[in-house]
Amino acid sequence: MQSTFPKPQPRAISIHPDTHIGYVHLTVRDFKKTLPFYQNVLGFKIHRNEKGVAQLGAGGNDLLILTENPDAKISRFATGLYHFAILVPSRFELARSLRRLAEAEIQLGFGDHIVSEAIYLSDPDGNGIEVYRDRPRQEWYDENGNFQMGTLPVDVRGVLSELQNETDEWQGLHRDTVLGHMHLKAANVNRDEKFYRDVIGFDEMANLGGTAAFLSAGGYHHHLGMNSWESANAPTPARDAVGLQYFTINLPNSDELGRVANRVRQAGIEIGELETGLLVRDPSKNGVVLTVTN
């Protein structure tokens, strides 16, 4: 499956092009299972682990925060996390991750999205994860300048061929790894997209007939995805559920934070204040923290 979409044009309310996703905060049930998975299988480094909260990354900024709650429930039909996406800096690093996941006998899915090559899996609690690498930006557009996305088979052998001359032992995720995007379960895609497009200020890259949408800052293929494939008209998960607590949208400066916050207030949306930033909730009640990049 492959689709093309008109290249988006900048708008007066477009969010700053240097905006990106910072980290995601999840609830999990058992650190004895979860932390070895994230550290030894995916290759995260544990930056800090105390009092039931662990901060993980690739050696730089935190990319993932985990809170342990042994009583957390799994919500089968609810809004929340579809997957969070780990962006590695090269096809070589994607190959290293793929080999490690295969060695650990993790069940995997794959997708060549034209803009990227991706591996899909779940953590021990069922939280969805994508590991991907981007293709060069000029390859995202066809000869008419239209943006292209789709889902095609991944050339797995081609990916693994990147390792044919490798001699170094795997040391986990490369330090330049970042959280590339978030993909959310929405109760109503068009409603949620309107919030992220017209209030937060992301630009629409693609909308698949109201069943899925992809938005970005600065022309990236997407910082946010959302779909209703498993969550059309779904309720909000229980407060103590496994899964998404919130994710951060990192803005480049306090002026941009103020500009976005003003639009949120004008839309009549409640804002909560955290040490890390301003907490808002999208129409599906997914938590979003607006913050300034350190």
- With 0-12 / 13-18 / 19 or more C-beta atoms within 10 angstroms meaning exposed / middle / buried, residue 275 is exposed
Beta strands, E only, the chain? 2-5, 20-28, 45-50, 53-57, 62-68, 80-87, 109-112, 116-122, 128-134, 147-150, 178-185, 203-207, 212-216, 224-227, 243-251, 272-274, 277-281, 287-292
Domain 2-161+172-292 fold is 2,3-Dihydroxybiphenyl 1,2-Dioxygenase; domain 1 (3.10.180)
Instruction: Give me the pLDDT at residue 7, please.
Output: 87
Instruction: Give me the pLDDT at residue 29, please.
Output: 98
Long-range CB contacts for residues 33-39, cutoff 8 Å, separation at least 24: 33/124, 34/66, 34/68, 34/123, 34/124, 34/125, 35/66, 37/123, 37/124, 38/64, 38/66, 38/123, 39/172
Instruction: Give the whole-angstrom CA distance, residue 266 versus residue 195.
Output: 12
Instruction: Give me the pLDDT at residue 294, please.
Output: 76
Instruction: Give me the pLDDT at residue 293, please.
Output: 87
Name the residue ranges covered by the structural domains of the chain: 2-161+172-292
Q: What is the largest CA-CA distance in the chain?
A: 57
Question: Within the chain, which residues score under 70 in pLDDT?
Answer: none
Instruction: Give me the pLDDT at residue 8, please.
Output: 87
Instruction: Give me the pLDDT at residue 165, please.
Output: 84
pTM: 0.97
pLDDT digit string, tens, across residues 206-225: 999 999 999 999 999 999 99
| Residues in the chain, overall count | 294
Instruction: Give me the pLDDT at residue 112, please.
Output: 98
pLDDT digit string, tens, across residues 83-92: 999 999 999 9
